[in-house]
């Protein structure tokens, strides 16, 4: 039942309002601003009926104090003096409405009902907005596209299980973020999350990195060291780029997963482990197995449950949402959020048009590049990386053609000129290699360069 706080110095008024409202609401009363402040700090009401003229402090003094306490309570002011001036002042201070004395009890009851109904609707709107916002985010992962929403649902299911998960997807799709989300939503979230990039550690160090070593196990092993398996005890070990492991390490990893024990380098003692393993790769492990480069028994052990992350080009609906998240992250902590940089319409179009071979990581880098290159509040196409700018320029040319500012021959010539320039830059302006890559002769390439006024840089 909603609570109404009646603040009035007259006992008869407090009692009449309590009798009027008690069937529908819990009614509390206070005889002054100070007692009202004490009441709201102990229990926040849903609405306040506030008299203005009271001994000591005016009822209007309560309004700014509620704001200082960050209490968004609707207040209906009861006034009989200087009605218009007091009502205007009350509304400026944040009152929801006012009623002049003497008031009709039924009219006041109806006003209270309407304000509280509106408050319930406002709270529901806030709740639904929060729910929608949360649906677009899972831990550090952001997206509203059907493809990423399905990934979110899968992650939530996998977090409740204990099975080994193989996360696959192109480079830059967020495989480590997905692994972290699984860990953070799992019963192991209070324990360590230990990531290991198997492709970034030298081959002669990867075994000791994973399993640890004893003192004197090899030259330079001056003390005992625990490996990543032991460091992740009770938590989650994330093996990124597992396809990079050489065959001897694959055997030892298989044993660890099957028997739940490891051995430190230089020791024959078996150490029990309690670790959930999540693995990731951007390789086609089935093809690696078929080619004899990855053990089939290890493949089936790590691929108990597969999680496939879509490339960014398959979830273009998320580009704008991701760009906004990266813009917020790229701003310095001391910056004013109200003055945060934004993307121009043409920059937005360029981001949507580009193919994103580097996926979400490339988009994040592009936004950081734009922030670094922009002095003003708006990031234009010119401040984005070259690859994205070209995409934006292509879209701009198409827009000119749609408006009729370019005819078809001019449009084709513009595209051809851009392709030639990009191919020449890629081959460091070597005309022979460029012609070969384009499937044309060097003579034709030179004719086209002359036609479009393309000159090699000095």
Q: What is the pLDDT of residues 193-208, one digit of tens each?
A: 999 999 889 888 899 9
Residues 150 and 298 in one domain: yes
Residues 118 and 36 in one domain: yes
Helix or strand holding residue 18 (H, E): helix 11-21
Q: Which of 86-95, 184-193, 329-338, 375-384 has the lowest mean pLDDT?
A: 329-338
Structural domain of 429? 407-458
Cβ neighbour number for residue 26 with a 10 Å cutoff: 14
Residues 98 and 233 in one domain: no
Q: Would residue 399 count as lying in a domain? A: no
Helix (H, G, I), strand (E, B) or coil at 272: strand
Q: What is the CATH number of the domain that holds 439?
A: 1.10.10.60
Residue in the block written with tokens 């070969």: 436
Residues 124 and 17 in one domain: yes
Residues 298 and 205 in one domain: yes
Residues 159 and 268 in one domain: yes
Distance CA 264, CA 6 (A): 72
- Assess whether pLDDT exceeds 90 at residue 451: no
Per-residue pLDDT at 338: 45
Residues 191 and 323 in one domain: no
Distance CA 51, CA 101 (A): 10
Final residue in a domain of this structure, among 284, 310, 336: 310
- Assess whether pLDDT exceeds 60 at residue 443: yes
Final residue in a domain of this structure, among 388, 423, 438: 388
Per the confidence metrics, is the pTM higher than 0.85? no
Distance of CA 229 to the CA centre of its chain: 29
Q: Would residue 398 count as lying in a domain? A: no
Q: Would residue 423 count as lying in a domain? A: yes
Per-residue pLDDT at 275: 95
- Assess whether pLDDT exceeds 50 at residue 342: yes
Residues 232 and 306 in one domain: yes
Among residues 211, 91, 97, 171, the alpha carbon closest in space to that of 360 is found at: 171
| Mean pLDDT, rounded, for 317-321 | 93
Final residue in a domain of this structure, among 101, 131, 161: 131
Give the chain's radius of gyration (CA, Å).
Answer: 33
- Assess whether pLDDT exceeds 60 at residue 69: yes
Crossing angle (nearest 10°) for helices 442-452 and 408-426: 120
Return phi, psi of residue 29, to 5°. Answer: -130, 155
Q: Would residue 172 count as lying in a domain? A: yes
pLDDT grade for 330, boundaries at 50, 70 and 90 = confident
Per-residue pLDDT at 394: 61
Across the chain, what does the average pLDDT equal? Answer: 87
Per-residue pLDDT at 87: 80
Q: Would residue 163 count as lying in a domain? A: yes
Q: Which residue has the higher pLDDT, 250 or 217?
A: 250
DSSP 4: E
pLDDT tens track for 6-33: 999 999 999 999 999 999 999 999 999 9
Q: What is the CATH number of the domain that holds 205?
A: 3.40.50.300
Among residues 206, 212, 210, 162, the alpha carbon closest in space to that of 182 is found at: 162
pLDDT grade for 316, boundaries at 50, 70 and 90 = very high
Buried b (16+ CB within 10 A) or exposed e, 234-249: ebbbbbbbbbbbeeeb
Residues 148 and 287 in one domain: yes
Q: What is the CATH number of the domain that holds 329?
A: 1.10.8.60
Helix or strand holding residue 262 (H, E): strand 261-262
Q: Would residue 69 count as lying in a domain? A: yes
- Assess whether pLDDT exceeds 50 at residue 35: yes
Distance CA 381, CA 370 (A): 9
Q: Would residue 395 count as lying in a domain? A: no
Per-residue pLDDT at 335: 53
Helix (H, G, I), strand (E, B) or coil at 336: coil
Per-residue pLDDT at 118: 87
Residues 256 and 372 in one domain: no
Q: Would residue 160 count as lying in a domain? A: yes
Pairing of strands 141-142, 137-138: antiparallel
- Assess whether pLDDT exceeds 80 at residue 390: no
Residue in the block written with tokens 């086209």: 448
Residues 159 and 236 in one domain: yes
Q: What is the CATH number of the domain that holds 61?
A: 3.40.50.2300
| Mean pLDDT, rounded, for 72-93 | 82
Residues 49 and 148 in one domain: no
- Our count of domains for the chain comes to 4
For the chain, the straight-line distance linking the first and the last C-alpha, in angstroms and rounded, comes to 81
């Amino acid at each position: 039942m909603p609570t109404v706080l009646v603040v009035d110095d007259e006992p008869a008024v407090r009692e009449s309002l309590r009798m009027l409202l008690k069937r529908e609401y819990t009614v509390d009363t206070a005889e002054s601003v100070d007692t009202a402040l004490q009441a709201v700090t102990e229990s926040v009401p849903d609405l306040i009926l506030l008299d203005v003229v009271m001994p000591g402090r005016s009822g209007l003094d309560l309004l700014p104090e509620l704001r200082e306490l960050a209490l968004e309570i609707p207040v209906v002011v009861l006034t009989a003096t200087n009605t218009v001036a007091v009502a205007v002042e009350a509304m400026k201070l944040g009152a929801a409405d006012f009623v002049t004395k003497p008031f009709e009890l039924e009219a006041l009851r109806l006003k209270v009902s309407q304000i509280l109904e509106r408050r319930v609707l406002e709270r529901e709107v806030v709740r639904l907005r929060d729910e929608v916002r949360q649906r677009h985010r899972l831990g550090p992962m952001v997206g509203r596209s059907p493809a990423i929403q399905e990934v979110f649902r899968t992650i939530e299911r996998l977090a409740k299980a204990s099975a080994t998960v193989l996360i696959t997807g192109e480079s830059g799709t967020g495989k480590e973020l997905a692994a972290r989300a699984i860990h953070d939503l799992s019963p192991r979230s209070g324990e360590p999350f230990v990531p290991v990039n198997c492709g970034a550690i030298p081959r002669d160090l990867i075994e000791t990195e994973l399993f640890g070593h004893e003192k004197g196990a090899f030259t330079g092993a001056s003390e005992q060291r625990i490996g990543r398996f032991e460091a992740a005890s009770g938590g989650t070990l994330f093996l990124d780029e597992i396809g990079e492991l050489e065959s001897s390490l694959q055997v030892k990893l298989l044993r660890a997963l099957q028997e739940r024990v490891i051995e430190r380098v230089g020791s024959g003692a078996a150490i029990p482990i309690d670790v959930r393993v999540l693995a990731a790769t951007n390789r086609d492990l089935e093809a690696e197995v078929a080619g004899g480069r990855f053990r089939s028994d290890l493949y089936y052990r790590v691929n108990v449950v597969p999680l496939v992350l879509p490339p960014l080009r398959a979830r273009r609906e998320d580009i704008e949402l991701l760009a906004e998240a990266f813009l917020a992250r790229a701003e310095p902590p001391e910056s004013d959020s109200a003055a945060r940089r934004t993307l121009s319409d043409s920059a937005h179009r360029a981001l949507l048009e580009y193919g994103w071979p580097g996926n979400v990581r490339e988009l994040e880098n592009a936004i950081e590049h734009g922030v670094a290159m922009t002095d003003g509040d708006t990031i234009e196409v010119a401040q984005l990386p070259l690859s994205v700018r070209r995409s934006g320029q292509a879209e701009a040319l198409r827009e000119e053609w749609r408006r009729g500012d370019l005819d078809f021959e001019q449009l084709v010539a513009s595209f051809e000129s851009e392709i030639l320039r990009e191919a020449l830059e890629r081959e460091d302006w070597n005309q022979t290699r460029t012609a070969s890559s384009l499937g044309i002769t060097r003579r034709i390439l030179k004719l086209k360069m002359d036609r479009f006024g393309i000159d090699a840089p000095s």
